[in-house]
Amino acid sequence: MPVIKVHDKSFDIYLPEESIQQRIKEMAALINADYAGKKPLFIAILNGSFMFAADLFKHLTIDAEISFIKLASYKGMKSTGNVVTSIGLEVDIFGREVIILEDIVDTGKTLHHFLPKLTHQQPLSLKIATLLHKSEATVFPLNPDYVGFDIPNKFVVGYGLDYDGLGRNLKEIYQVI
């Protein structure tokens, strides 16, 4: 079983590339069906969601727009509990069908902080698509509408997710040992 090292920690493979890609195709198919005839606006939350957003977007067959915002609450392997917006939203979401794209919903803090800012702008609908959900780690309850994988409460890296800046380029997802 491949073990990798990122900074001072060792990680085991948890989700191989093929499983991630297969699941993203399934998520895209659900979204294509649910939004047929509509033109949703995807809002991807940087940095972690960039790979998921790119791969999911390639499998959409509906008309769709995408925009990016940057929020962060993590430092190292712990959530700071403090959500900072460093790139804000530039598009008008009033009356739009909006789908948030996240790499991972962990405690729910990031989205709990961000969602009211969006609902305040009165989108027609607002849904959440996340590749990973640590449902056991919930502190701020949220029900993501599209979930790739429900995973245990262990730190993961790869496929856009980082440990102190490294590991984002891995094609697979790895779990800390």
Chain residues in the site for ligand XMP (CB under 6 A): 48, 73-74, 79, 102-110, 155-157, 161-162
How crowded is residue 122: how many other Cβ atoms within 10 Å of its Cβ? 11
State the Cα angle at 19 between 18 and 25, rounded to 5°: 90
106 is catalytic: yes
Q: Which is closer to ligand XMP, CB of 58 or CB of 70?
A: 70
In the complex, the smallest distance separating the C-beta of residue 167 from Mg ion, rounded to whole angstroms, is 13
- Convert residues 77-106 into a mask of x (bound to Mg ion by CB under 5 A) and - (unbound): --------------------------x---
In the complex, the smallest distance separating the C-beta of residue 94 from ligand XMP, rounded to whole angstroms, is 25
Site membership for Mg ion, residue 148 (CB under 5 A): no
155 binds, among Mg ion, ligand XMP, none (CB under 5 to 8 A by kind): ligand XMP
Nearest residue to Mg ion, scored by beta-carbon proximity:
48
Site membership for Mg ion, residue 48 (CB under 5 A): yes
Q: Beta-strand (E) ranges in 34-155?
A: 41-46, 65-75, 78-87, 97-105, 125-133, 146-150
Radius of gyration in angstroms for the set of CA atoms belonging to the chain, rounded to a whole number: 16
In the complex, the smallest distance separating the C-beta of residue 125 from ligand XMP, rounded to whole angstroms, is 21
Query: Which of 8, 34, 63, 106 is an active site residue?
Result: 106
Torsion of CA 32, 34, 35, 41, to 10 degrees: -90
In the complex, the smallest distance separating the C-beta of residue 52 from Mg ion, rounded to whole angstroms, is 10
How crowded is residue 51: how many other Cβ atoms within 10 Å of its Cβ? 20
123 binds, among Mg ion, ligand XMP, none (CB under 5 to 8 A by kind): none
- The 3-state secondary structure of 97-131, one letter per residue: EEEEEEEEECCCHHHHHHHHHHHCCCCCEEEEEEE
CA-nearest of 170, 166, 105 to 131 is 105
Point out which residues bind Mg ion (CB under 5 A): 48, 103
Residues with a known catalytic role: 106
